[in-house]
Amino acid sequence: MSRQNVGWLLGISAISLFGLLVALQVSAAREQDKDYDTVRLVVDVLHEVRSRYVNEIDPERERRLVEDMLNGGLERLDPHSTYINPREFKQFTRQSKGKFGGIGVHIGYDRSNRGLLTIISPMVGTPAYESGILAGDVVLKIDGKSTEGMRLSEAVDLIQGEPGQKVTLTVRHEGSTETADVDIVRAEIQVPSVLGDQRKVNDVKAWDFMLDKKNQIGYIRLTSFSETATKEMKAAIDELQKEGVRGVVIDLRSNPGGLLKAAVEIADLFLNEGRIVSTKGRNHKEETYDAHNDNTLLGPESGVPVAILINKYSASASEILSAALQDHKRAVIIGERSYGKGSVQNVIPMEHGSSALKLTTASYWRPSGKNIHRFPESKETDEWGVKPNKGFEVELKDEERLEYMLWRNDRDVIRVKKPEQPRPEKTEKSGEKTSDKAHDKGKPKKEFVDKVLEKALEYLRAEVKKQGDAGPAPVQKQG
3-state secondary structure of 313: coil
Q: How far is 309 from 460, CA to CA, in rounded Å?
A: 13
- Exposure of 321 in the CB half-sphere (CA atoms within 13 A): 37
Q: How far is 354 from 87, CA to CA, in rounded Å?
A: 9
Measured between alpha carbons, how far apart are the two ends of the chain, in Å? 71
Closest CA to 461 of 208, 270, 211, 217: 217
Q: How far is 39 from 51, CA to CA, in rounded Å?
A: 18
Residues known to be catalytic: 316, 327, 341
Alpha carbon separation from 30 to 17, 21, 25, 34, 36 (Å, rounded): 20, 14, 9, 6, 10
The torsion region of residue 371 among left (phi > 0), alpha (psi -120 to 50) and beta comes to: beta
Alpha carbon separation from 327 to 71, 228, 276, 367 (Å, rounded): 36, 26, 9, 6
Contact by Cβ (8 Å): 248, 217 = yes
Q: How far is 249 from 265, CA to CA, in rounded Å?
A: 18
Alpha carbon separation from 150 to 108, 116, 141, 369 (Å, rounded): 11, 10, 10, 48
Q: How far is 66 from 76, CA to CA, in rounded Å?
A: 16
Which residues are within 8 A (CB) of 247 and not within 5 positions of it... i.e. 6 or more apart? 215, 216, 217, 218, 304, 305, 306, 307, 460, 461, 463, 464
Write out the H or E segment, with its range, that includes residue 89.
helix 86-97
